[in-house]
Structure 1
Amino acid sequence: MWWWQYNHSGPSFTWMGTAHILVFIILLLLCFTMIKGRKGFRRCNAQKYIHRGISALFILGEISLQIFYITNGVWDASYALPLHLSSFVWITTILAFTAGHRIWFEVTFFAGVGSALLTIITPDLAHYGFPHYRFFHFFITHSLVILAVCYMLVVEQRTLRGTSVFRAWGVLNLYAALVFLLNLLTGGNYMYLMKKPEQTTPIDWLGPWPYYILSLEAVALIVFFIMYRLYRFEVKTKKNSGASG
């Protein structure tokens, strides 16, 4: 029995139920609003407020999650530390806002958007359905990564290079190696490096442990390449439309 089965008698999460679909609708509307209003964001010099606001929400989200674990008497180093991929990408998002090196934006774009979108589509929420705190925390924190990248791309006009794919993939592998060692120390399963999720996820298609880890390596690199090609296609389209205009 997992920790999340304790002290919870509310509704379970329903995949593609009304609440889940509303998450997609709200996220799409927010991204659309940001894209359409990008010139307004630039004119009002909202950068520092956006950076601080999103960063604060990430930090408050992590603090509230730790309080949730502690007050429910279920805190344990095997799952409660901020070592999950979702934790890593909110940290890289803050670094992309505050640090000068472009690597943090690259990691947030490739690892953040890809993992956040997949996680939103196939959430590992188990019994925590709407309107439980974990439902809101889960979808807000993952959606914020996508919104932050959308802001950095369309408002701040940050760019990616061909080498960005390998740089982001390399950083992700280094982080996974560190997390693997910490899993051994804590008995955890951060980043699902020790076994597959309890919930049904696309990882189930990639073979047994440890072979699915190698499969994930290849899948991640392929997905990164696809994301980069889509990015380049969008950049080229904008240049052509600008030239024709």
Structure 2
Amino acid sequence: MTQLFGHQYDLYPFQLFSVMHLVMLLVFVTGSVLLYVYRKPLKSLEKPMKVIMFSGLFILELFYHIWLFSGKAWEISFTLPLQLCSISLLLCLILLITDSKFLFQVVYFLGIAGAIQALVTPELFVGFPHFRFFQFFITHMLIIWVALFYAFVKEFRITRKGLWQAFAFLNIAAGFAFLANKLTGGNYMFLASKPSNLSLLDYLGPYPYYILVLECIALLLFWVLYLPWRGAKK
């Protein structure tokens, strides 16, 4: 049992698009579809759903840091909340408390765009049935489900203004991440180098040009996420 929480990653190596990876992707798609299909009945369960999602995100993130500390693996160069999905997670927690329409726009665009990429090509070095495997996938699913919950169930509107607000927020966050990389020797938001395992960034050219390409792709993804709501009531 202790091996499931250990730091010997070679015991449970992660394999991209393995059976369990595909199972987690199926769980994500199924959960997303159910949020839409049952969006009206779920209105009566808004409060308990918010509590469940908040608790899930908070507890899993807390356990993740405890796990790192216990294994003497917590390092300032990679565990600060300056990765795109770490930022989205914190914003989700605040959103679930405040119902802020501004934060919703940021979570919708940043959270969905970043977490989907993470789910499809995870920067993950340990696989099923390790704790980190489940913590990683469930956390990223919840980030997207929080955004979809507010869009489908609470009927918050996605706006063009929100798209540009999210894009501006992304660039401001990237500035802080760049500074943190210089100070800590880290690679927050992959602004110092590409991830060591296979990812979409491998197809975007060499450093530092892939950062500019990534910026364009981020804006394109934001527009794709906006299109289903174009013309909807604000």
TM-score scaled to structure 1, two decimals?
0.87
Report the alpha carbon displacement of residue 232 of structure 1 after superposing the two structures with TM: 2.6
Give per-residue Cα distances to partners, 1:98-157, cap 9 Å, x unaligned: 23542211111111101111110111112x010011100110000001111121111101
- What is the alpha-carbon distance in structure 2 between the residues aligned to residue 50 and residue 83 of structure 1? 27
Tell me how far apart the structure 2 counterparts of residues 96 and 23 of structure 1 sit (CA, whole Å): 25
- Which position in structure 2 is the counterpart of 1:240? none
Distance 1:226 1:39 in 2: 25
Is this contact kept in 2: 1:7–1:72, CA < 8 A?
no
Percent same amino acid at aligned positions? 31
What's the CA shift string for 1:36-65, capped at 9, x where partnerless? 2222111x2x22222222112111112111
Change over 3 Å in CA distance of 1:9–1:226 after alignment to 2: closer
Q: How does 1:1-245 map to 2 (within 5 A)?
A: 7-42=8-43, 44=44, 46-126=45-125, 128-232=126-230
Q: Give the distance between the partners of 2:55 and 2:7, measured in 1 at CA.
A: 30
Q: Does the CA-based 8 Å contact 2:157-2:229 persist in structure 1?
A: no
Q: Are the aligned partners of 1:78 and 1:183 in contact in 2 as well (CA < 8 Å)? A: yes
Deviation at residue 6 of structure 1 after TM alignment: 5.4
> Does the 8 A contact of 1:10 with 1:132 survive in 2?
no
Q: Partner of 1:243 in structure 2?
A: none
Moved more, 128-137 or 178-187: 178-187
Whole-Å separation in 1 of the counterparts to 2:150 and 2:99: 14
RMSD: 1.8
Structure 1 counterpart of 2:20, which letter?
A: A
Looking at CA atoms only, which structure, 1 or 2, has the larger radius of gyration?
1
> How far does residue 13 in structure 1 lie from its aligned partner after superposition?
1.1
**Aligned equivalents of 2:169 and 2:160: distance in 1?**
15
Can you give the 5+ residue segments of structure 1 that lack an aligned partner in the other structure? 237-245
C-alpha separation in 1, matches of 2:42 and 2:170: 31
Give the AA of the match of 1:24. L
Paired residue secondary structure (2:230)? helix
DSSP-derived class of the 2:128 partner: coil
d(CA) in 2 for partners of 1:62, 1:32: 25
Alpha-carbon distance in structure 2 between the residues aligned to 1:69 and 1:96: 26
Deviation for aligned residue 1:183: 1.4
The alignment partner of 1:38 has SS state of coil
CA distance in 2, matches of 1:31, 1:9: 32
- Conservation of the 8 A alpha-carbon contact between 1:110 and 1:165: yes
The DSSP-based 3-state class of the residue aligned with 2:150 is: helix
Number of aligned positions between the proteins: 228
| In structure 1, C-alpha distance between the alignment counterparts of 2:68 and 2:133, rounded to whole Å | 14
Check conservation: 2:108, 2:148, Cα contact below 8 A: no
Does the CA-based 8 Å contact 1:116-1:145 persist in structure 2? yes
2:82, 2:173 within 8 Å by CA — same for their partners in 1?
no
CA–CA separation in structure 2 for the residues paired with 1:132 and 1:51: 27
**TM-score, normalization: structure 2?**
0.91
Q: 1:60/1:6 Cα in 2 relative to 1: closer, same or farther (>3 Å)?
A: closer
For residue 9 of structure 1, report the CA deviation from its aligned partner: 3.8
Deviation, structure 1 residue 181: 0.8
Most deviating of 5-14 and 218-227:
5-14
Match of 1:239 in 2: none
